Amino acid sequence: MTHTLTCKHCVLGTSDDKSIVINKDGICNYCLNFKEHWIKRESETKRNQLLSNLVLQIKDQKKKYDCLLGISGGVDSSYLAYWAHQEGLSPLVVHFDNGWNSELAVENIQKICTKLNFDLKTIVIDWQIFKKMQIAYLKAGVVDIEVLTDHAIYATITQLAKKNKIKYVISGYNLATEGIMPKGWVYDKRDWSNIKSIVKKHSDINTFGSFPHVSFWQGLRNHFFHQQKIVQPLNLMNYNKNEAKEILKKELGWRDYGGKHYESIFTKFYQAYILPHKFGIDKRKAHLATIINSGQIDKKTALSELEKPLYPNADFEQDRDYVLKKLNLSLNEFENIMQSPVQSHLHFDTDKVLWNRYFKIINLIKLKK
């Protein structure tokens, strides 16, 4: 009989994912790993200097667009747009519309780009293809359905940066609010072979048409010959999500969604219903574990957050009906999907071996230097 252990420092436990290990002091490996990276950060003075240097490097290109910024309407990307304006940068702002934007997300994006006087390029997905791909992922029983959107965003930004000869791509990733994610809860967003394999097995799609994608070999060519730099300015700041929200509300009229990535109706339904009910995953735990470790919240407050319902009943029924109608799924079909077996992404074709070999070679080259 195995005993469930919970980390003394954060809210993750051994029952949440098999990758979580609690040491003899009661601390999980994710807290220890976060702490290791957190203490390795440069001093605040050094980070401020690095951020100033980064701004100068981006501005030095003297182009119409000196960088590219993807925007979802969520906190991180919206705050980056505000920061870019404050620093006098000229980004090409890109939004990827996969058909699931909430009205509030559209409103937030329009407000931001209008008030900051930024050019916005919206890429609209081929809905008929994307719908079939999402249904295929649901039927496959794999955990990370959001791979489809994340891969398409990655491909879109890569292609637009290349087309417009933009060297710097500004990413909203930050250690302070996104530094912890159990391995079993997500899958590699770059793995185009895995996407193709899952979709072809569970749909009638033979060609992906205009769906943005980057194969392993295309990714290597882009890396070696187009030299795009993905930079993470939020990691050079003392970034606090609640403080960022207040600035966005005051300066740009931005409105909150009430949950991480809830600017997308599908993402809200996926994270608040599909993940906990089919996979036993409450993604709030990863977010709360991260901000506990970055000092933005204490464990007591985090536990009180977890006591709140993931989905108020009225919201759930409305969102479920909307999602199923948009996907052309009956309630019975959806319930069968929810009760079907869970499958590993690795049950399908994958580029994982190729990426592992690539990084081994890169690490060997670094060691020789």
Dihedral sign computed on CA atoms, order 302, 305, 307, 309 = negative
35 shares its domain with 99: no
| Per-residue pLDDT tens digits for 142-174 | 999 999 999 999 999 988 998 999 999 999 999
Q: Are the CB atoms for 166 and 230 separated by under 8 Å?
A: no
Percent residues over pLDDT 90 in the chain:
76
Between CA 148 and CA 158 the distance in angstroms is: 15
Once rounded to an integer, what is the mean pLDDT over residues 223-232?
Answer: 81
Q: According to the model, what pLDDT value does residue 368 have?
A: 59
pLDDT (tens digit, 9 = 90+) per residue, 175-193?
999 999 999 999 999 999 9
pLDDT computed for residue 1 by the predictor: 43
Threshold 0.75, pTM exceeds: yes
pLDDT of residue 27: 97
Give the residue-averaged pLDDT of 6-30.
Answer: 97
Q: Are residues 142 and 275 in the same domain?
A: yes
Structure tokens at 177: 């609010």
In a domain, 253, yes or no: yes
35 and 160 housed in the same domain: no
269 lies in the same domain as 197: yes
pLDDT score for 150: 95
87-131: pLDDT as tens digits: 999 999 999 999 998 888 889 999 999 999 999 999 999 999 999
Same domain? For 25 and 64 the reply is: no
- Would you say residue 325 lies in a domain? yes
Same domain flag for 55 and 131: yes
Segments in 117-259 forming alpha helices (H) = 127-140, 147-163, 175-178, 192-201, 216-221, 241-252
Same domain, 120 and 4: no
Contact, 30 vs 183, CB < 8 A? no
State mean pLDDT over 327-335.
97
Residue 369 has pLDDT above 70, yes or no: no
| Domain shared by 184 and 294, yes or no | yes
C-alpha to C-alpha distance for 147 and 128, rounded to whole angstroms: 18
CATH assignment of the domain containing 134: 3.40.50.620
Is 365 a member of any domain?
A: no
Are 29 and 10 within 8 A, CB to CB? Answer: no
Residue 48: the pLDDT is 95
| Count of structural domains, the chain | 2
Position with higher pLDDT, 369 vs 234: 234
What single letter denotes the amino acid at residue 189? K
> Of 29, 109, 43, 102, which is closest to residue 77 (Cα–Cα)?
109
Residues 228 and 164 in one domain: yes
Task: Give the orientation angle of helix 313-327 with respect to helix 127-140, to 10 degrees.
Answer: 120
Q: What is the CA radius of gyration of the chain?
A: 21
Mind listing the pLDDT tens digit for each residue in 23-44? 999 999 999 999 999 999 999 9
276 in Cβ contact with 310 (< 8 Å): yes
Residue 252: name the closest of 86, 18, 15, 57 by CA. 86
* Judgement on whether residues 320 and 255 belong to the same structural domain of the protein: yes
State both tokens at 157: 């930004």
Q: Are residues 28 and 47 part of one domain? A: no
Domain membership flag for residue 289: yes
Whether 263 shows a pLDDT value over 50: the answer reads yes
Domain that holds residue 26: 1-40
Q: Which residue has the higher pLDDT, 16 or 3?
A: 16
What is the edge-to-edge ordering of all strands in the sheet holding 168-170?
Answer: 120-124, 91-97, 67-70, 168-170, 229-231
Say yes or no to pLDDT of 77 above 70: yes
Task: Tell me whether residue 195 is in a domain.
Answer: yes
Residue 200 pLDDT class (50, 70, 90 cuts): very high
Q: Note the pLDDT of residue 260.
A: 53
The residues, any chain, with a CB within 8 Å of residue 203's CB and separated by 6 or more, are 132, 133, 135, 136
Q: State what percent of residues in the chain have pLDDT above 70.
A: 95
3-state secondary structure of 230: strand
Q: Average pLDDT, whole number, for the chain? A: 91
Comparing 27-41, 103-117, 251-265, 322-336, the range with the smallest average pLDDT is 251-265
Q: Are residues 31 and 68 in the same domain?
A: no
